[in-house]
Every structure is written in structure tokens, then in C-alpha cells.
Structure 1
Amino acid sequence: MNNVSRLRYFIYLSLIILGGCTTGKNALQKGDYDVSVSKAVSRLQNSPKNGEALAVLKTAYELALKDHLRKIDEAKLSSNLFKWESIMYDYQKLNQLADEINSCPACLSVVPAPSKYVNEVAESRYNAAVFRYNSGVAYLNEGNRASAKKAYYEFEKVMNLQPNYLDVKTKMDDAYWAAVIKVVVQPIILNRGPYKFSADYFQQQIDQFIGSYSRNKFVVFYGEEQATNQKIVPDQILSLNFDDFVVGQTYVKERVEKLKRDSVIIGETRERKPVYGTVKATLSIFEKHISSSGLLDMTIMDWRNKKVIRQQKFPGTYVWRDSWASYKGDDRALNKNQLAMTRRKEIAPPSPGDLFLEFTKPIYSQLVDDIGYFYNSY
């Protein structure tokens, strides 16, 4: 077979494969009748006289109709209380296929009256809502948090099916508050003068976190003042306190280096020729470290039985650094970096309040991660 013949063969083969895919023939052979109908409709919208697509559509729709009606009949005979949702889905799928065919004039030549089941969808939707509602009420009547969560999700499904069914909105709200864990967060008490403002700022960050917490809808945080004003009876108390903290521990280290450099021009002769020699200097390098650190205790207590259910401690450290240098002798013995260091002056460190805030940053990150991890499972 020459190259031209081989090329024609592959083009012909590709067209056969492509035609089979786009007309829905392959999907039909695999028993995927819904997909086969959709592909045939799509092909006929672009190529109304495609004979293969017309044949595929006629066969695929008949089989899809029989398949969905069979599933519906089997579901109706089932003892499964939640069968109406699957019944509704099958009716909806048949309506979708009918809409696709009705949007294609060429398709109506082989399927002139695709069946629609509008009333059947409405009836199955209503029945599904009834059974979900009754299931939610049964869960809610069990009177425990785990069942209240299940009830909430059942009522949520009712809302999606029949938003105005009986008192579902009220029941959903009742289930939610029966499932919610109410956590009151006690503020950090810190009255030590220069740090009070910074501690208040740290507390504000925590308040912002708990105020915007949304990882678990069944956990609600309250500030202590908010809980008092709203007369909230908590399920848990989350308290935060610094076990200890130290701000501004200062360490200054001096390192002395003897420097010399050879072959440096140190003068010139009468004939104005350079004179080379060795220059020396003593370099003193100063390094200042100001360390601040603290340890935050988080305790979560069950309000009813007064038992601690979680306790974690979060450390935080911040070290502020500065360095400068001075020298004695000939500055030509210093390299560029050493000379630049000697031109630096000792700078004033951050205020105690700023140092406090810096060491609380890693504490805050650990704290919010731990709170999120702990309450994700509720």
C-alpha cells in the first residue's frame, strides 16, 4: 500500500469512527441510551438528513423510555421509604430527553410525540417531601444532638423539594438549634501596663476569627459579653490565658577581628613611585538580640458537667536582631561589607507592645488551626 492509499484509508477509518461517536451509535451499543439520544439529537441539529443519526435516535429513545419506566415501576414496588426521589429523577430524565427532541425539527420525523411527565414529576416530588419531612420529625423527636443533625439535613431536603411544605422552615430551624454547639469564648485577662493595648489587639484578632468562623455550621461561637446580653446558655466554655510571657530579654555579643591587608599603597617615593605596605585594623562587631516569648493555654470545658474536654498550650517566640561595627586602625584593611557595617549605627528596638504582638503571631496561627481542627468533627 503506497503512502497516498494509506492516507486515504486512515481518513476513511477516522470518518467512520467519528461518525459512530457523533451519531450516538457507540453509546447505543453500550446500552447508554440517554447519551445516545443526546448525541443523535446534536448530530441531527447540524445535519438533519443524517440517516444513521435518525435510525439511532428512534431506537435509542424507545429503549431509554422503556428503561426509565421499568426503573420507575420497580421503585414503586419497593419498600424503600425514599424511593420517590429516584422515581422523580427518572421522570425528570424522560422530560429532559423530550425537550431535547422537541428542540430538533428533524428529530420529530422519527419521534413525533416524545412523552412528557409533568404531573408525575410534581407528584413524586411531593411524595418525596412528605417522607423526608416525616423522617426529619422522627429524628428530631429523639431529643439528642446527633439525631437533630440528621433531622436538619432531612428538612433541608424537604426545602429543596417543597419549600412551603407545612412548617418545614420552623422545623429546620428547631433542628438546627438543637444540633448546634454553643461555645462562649472568655477574653484574655491581662492588666500589665505596657502590654494591655497589645493584648487587646490580640483578643480582637481572636474575636474576628470566631465571629467569621464557618467551617462547621453546627458550631457557634459567642464572645462573653455577647453571650451575656443574649442570655446564651453555653454548651462549652473556651478560655484563653497566658501561662507566662517574657518581653525584651536583651543579649549583646561583641566579636573582635584583627585585620590586615598586604600590597596596599601607603605612600610614594620622591620619584612619585608608589610604596606598598601592610595596613592593619581592629574590627569590633556587635550583635544585639532581643527575645520575647510566651505560652498561651487554651482550655475547653463542658459547661454542664464542668469537665475539661480539651487543653492545649501554644508557644510563641520572636527575636529582634540588630548588628553594627566599629574599628580602630586603617580602614583600608576592611572589605566593602565590613566598612558598610561600621557605617551603621545601633538602632532603637521596637516598643514592648510591638514585641508582644510579634511573639503572639505564631501563637495565633496555632490557636486558630487547633480550634478549626477540633470543631470540624462536631
Structure 2
Amino acid sequence: MKNISRLRYFIYLSFIIIAGCTTGKKALQKGDYDASVAKAVSRLQNSPKNSEAMEVLPTAYNLALQDHLRKIEEAKASNDLFRWEAIMYEYQKINQLADDINSCPACLILVPTPPKFVKELSDSKYNAAVARYNSGLEYLNDNNKLSAKKAYYEFEKAQNLQPNYKDVKAKMDDAYWAAVTRVVVQPIMVNSNLYKLSGDYFQQQIDQFIASYSRNKFVIFYSEEQATNQKIIPDQVLSLNFDDFVVGQTYVKERVEKIKRDSVVIGETREKKPVYGTVRATLSIFDKNVSSSGLLDMTISDWHDQKIIRQQKIPGTYIWRDSWANYKGDDRALTKQQMAMTRRRESLPPPPTALFLEFTKPIYNQLVNDISGFYNNY
């Protein structure tokens, strides 16, 4: 049995090896010449005498080379502004084919001198960078933020293609700052000295959010103090104000339940036998809710014409709850949970400043989600 298991294992392993080491013949038949070359090279690296791979490689390579050269000529003849990138990619593929064959001694016998187009690749990269740079200049000359953003990405592509081309780094920087939307966030106004500390804490949370915001690099938030110190002229102003808030509205509700329990031992006979009966009690349960809520107005305005770009009313509510109970009658009628409630006493709610802070928490979550959603793809 062990020998049969081993045989099955080796047969299974052989199928895996065969499947993973194709000669590239099927890829050649499908017209995928690059893949055919890659598979034939891989097979010949592992099995230099494989006849099928030896037959496939020269044919696949010649077809691949001619296909890339044809595409290069077609691209050169086109009017596409960015045709040099297509040409560059074709030269890269040709050179990769040559590198693959040069890494395989058995392959070099079949394809002795695969050409590499090093200078042509370098020239095409240069020309591609020039095209992107010139495109960036045209966008930048449009003098609007959307075009400046496009210019930034064009200069970035030029930078990646040709890092030291002209003043591409400086142009990239110019385009970035021309594309940036500067948003000044005004401090939140809380018209009550009682809640000033809580309002300050809410403001600190907002300040931390805008300071760490990084989803869209073309949006920068400033506090009013930062804008003043850095002499920033904003594009937009984000103002936050509590339209209305109520702290500590108290509601107490009493529920009365008549309770009875049967088959309770209420005494015993002279013979010391238990006497069963019904016990009753009246349970009064008190539920106290202390509600605090507010409505935050978020307005985003254009600094230059004072037009409102976006306005949202964001509500928040926090309810502090307490409950206790008392009873009259026989306590044996009560459950353990009911007895526990009767031992509780009415609790004092948190101070108003804490209640104010609690109802601003859901407002904060909605606020940052709204700001992020608006500016992430701005």
C-alpha cells in the first residue's frame, strides 16, 4: 500500500511539473509571442535539450520582434501627442526578450544575437518626457485649479521619465501650489461660558482632524491663527456654529406594577408542616432620562464671492438614563432583579459640561465624514 501511495504522489507531482513547464507552443498558436518566448526560455533553462521548446523559440522570437518593430513604426507615424511612450514600451519589451534569451545558454544557440535597442529606448524616454513637459506647460497656462492639477500630473510623469529634464521639479511645484485649495476653518462659537471648556475640547478634535488630513494632497486646511501667521489667502472658508442646543432636559416616568406570587410558604401548622399561600406587592419603577442635543451648522463658502458651496445641518443627541424602584407589600412577591432595583437610589446625572461633550461626539463623527467625503475627490 505504501508503494502505491508513493507512486500516486510521484504521478501527481509529475503532472504539476509538466503543467508548470510548458514549451510555449500553445501561446505561439494563440499569437501571444512574448509569452511563447518566455515559456520556451524557461523550459530550455530547465531542460536544454527539449525538442519542442527548441523548435518554438526561434519562431516565437522572430515573430515577437517583428510585431514590436511594426508597432513602433505605426506609433511613429501617428499624430498622438504621447506616441513616444508607446514606442518606449515596445522597445522595453524587445530588450526584455533579449535579456531573457541572454540568460539562457541553450537559447543563445538558437537565437545567437538578439538585438537590444538601448539608445532608441533612451531617446524615446527623453521624447516622451518632452511631450509630457510641454503638455504640463499648456495646462499650467490655463490659470485654473483643475488645469493646474492636470499640469502637476503631467510634470510628475515627465519627472519619472527624465528626472533632470529642464526645470521639471520647479514646474511640478508651481503646478501643485496653483492646484491647491486652501481652506480656513473658523473656530466654533459656543455662546455660553458654562460650556466653553466642552466647546474647546470639540474644537481640539476638529483641529486634530484637519491637521492630520491627507486623503487629497490638493486640499490644505488651516486654522484662522495659522492663516493669519502665514498670511494665507484662502480659497474657501469652513465655518462651524451650533444653531441650537439643549443640555439636561430631564424626564421622569413612573410605572406601577401589581405583583403576586402563589405557592409561597407563609407559615406552618402545629405539626410543623408548611402552609402555602399568595403574597402580593406593589412595585413602583422610576425611569429618568436626561436628554441633551444640538444642531451644528457646517457651511463652506467661497472666499472671493462669498457664495455658499455646501451647507449641512448635523444633529447630535445623548440621553443619560437612570432607574430605581420602591415597593409596598410583601417582598417575597418580588424577583431577585426587582429586589435589586429597590436597593438602588436615584443617581445624579453628569454635570452639564459632560453632557454637552457627549452629544457632540456623534456630531463630530458625522462632521468629519462629511468633510472627508466632500474634499477627498475635490
- TM-score bracket, normalised by the shorter chain, equals over 0.9
| Aligned residue identity for 2:217 | K
Deviations 1:85-138 (A, max 9, x none): 111111111111211222222222212222212211111111111111111111
Q: Could you say if the C-alpha distance between residues 66 and 25 of structure 1 is closer, same or farther in structure 2, counting changes exceeding 3 Å?
A: same
1:292 aligns with 2:319: no
Structure 2 counterpart of 1:23: 23
Matches within 5 A, 1:229-378: 229-378=229-378
CA-based RMSD of the aligned residues comes to 2.1
1:129 aligns with 2:102: no
Question: CA offset at residue 214 of structure 1?
Answer: 2.0
Deviations 1:141-163 (A, max 9, x none): 12122211111111010111111
| Aligned residue identity for 2:96 | Q
1:140 aligns with 2:140: yes
Structure 1 counterpart of 2:42: 42
Percent sequence identity over matched residues?
Answer: 77
Question: CA offset at residue 46 of structure 1?
Answer: 2.0
Q: Could you say if the C-alpha distance between residues 48 and 21 of structure 1 is closer, same or farther in structure 2, counting changes exceeding 3 Å?
A: closer
Question: CA offset at residue 19 of structure 1?
Answer: 6.0
Question: CA offset at residue 21 of structure 1?
Answer: 7.4
| Aligned residue identity for 1:67 | D
Distance 1:342 1:160 in 2: 75
Matches within 5 A, 1:206-221: 206-221=206-221
Contact kept? 2:21, 2:42, Cα under 8 Å: no
Distance 2:280 2:127 in 1: 97
Structure 2 counterpart of 1:71: 71
Distance 1:119 1:217 in 2: 37
Question: CA offset at residue 34 of structure 1?
Answer: 0.8
SS in 2 for 1:93: helix
Distance 1:221 1:136 in 2: 26
Distance 2:70 2:359 in 1: 68
Structure 2 counterpart of 1:3: none
Question: CA offset at residue 72 of structure 1?
Answer: 0.8
Unaligned stretches of 5+ residues in structure 1: 1-10
Distance 1:159 1:180 in 2: 20
Relative to structure 2, which stretch is displaced further, 166-175 or 48-57? Answer: 48-57
| Aligned residue identity for 1:351 | P
Distance 2:329 2:306 in 1: 72
Distance 2:208 2:256 in 1: 50
Q: Could you say if the C-alpha distance between residues 19 and 302 of structure 1 is closer, same or farther in structure 2, counting changes exceeding 3 Å?
A: closer
Question: CA offset at residue 352 of structure 1?
Answer: 1.6
Distance 1:299 1:53 in 2: 69
Deviations 1:246-291 (A, max 9, x none): 1111111111111111110011112110011111111111101010
Question: CA offset at residue 377 of structure 1?
Answer: 4.0
Distance 1:243 1:374 in 2: 22
Distance 2:321 2:257 in 1: 21
Structure 2 counterpart of 1:224: 224
Question: CA offset at residue 179 of structure 1?
Answer: 1.1
Distance 1:280 1:176 in 2: 80
| Aligned residue identity for 2:323 | S
Relative to structure 2, which stretch is displaced further, 350-359 or 314-323? Answer: 350-359
1:182 aligns with 2:182: yes
Contact kept? 1:20, 1:26, Cα under 8 Å: no
SS in 2 for 1:22: coil
Structure 2 counterpart of 1:198: 198
Structure 1 counterpart of 2:7: none
Deviations 1:230-249 (A, max 9, x none): 00001111110000101111
Structure 1 counterpart of 2:101: 101
Distance 1:341 1:46 in 2: 80
Distance 1:350 1:104 in 2: 78
Deviations 1:207-250 (A, max 9, x none): 11111222222211111100000000011111100001011111
Distance 1:21 1:248 in 2: 75
Contact kept? 1:21, 1:27, Cα under 8 Å: no
Deviations 1:140-195 (A, max 9, x none): 11212221111111101011111111111110111111111111010102252331
| Aligned residue identity for 1:327 | Y
Distance 1:205 1:236 in 2: 21
Distance 2:23 2:330 in 1: 91
| Aligned residue identity for 2:68 | H
| Aligned residue identity for 2:118 | V
Question: CA offset at residue 18 of structure 1?
Answer: 5.4
| Aligned residue identity for 1:166 | K
SS in 1 for 2:349: coil
Contact kept? 2:21, 2:43, Cα under 8 Å: no
User: What TM-score does the superposition give when structure 2 sets the normalisation length?
Assistant: 0.92
User: What TM-score does the superposition give when structure 1 sets the normalisation length?
Assistant: 0.92
Distance 1:353 1:38 in 2: 71
Relative to structure 2, which stretch is displaced further, 255-264 or 21-30? Answer: 21-30
Structure 1 counterpart of 2:88: 88
Contact kept? 1:91, 1:117, Cα under 8 Å: yes
Distance 1:243 1:19 in 2: 70
Distance 1:294 1:221 in 2: 25
Distance 1:346 1:71 in 2: 84
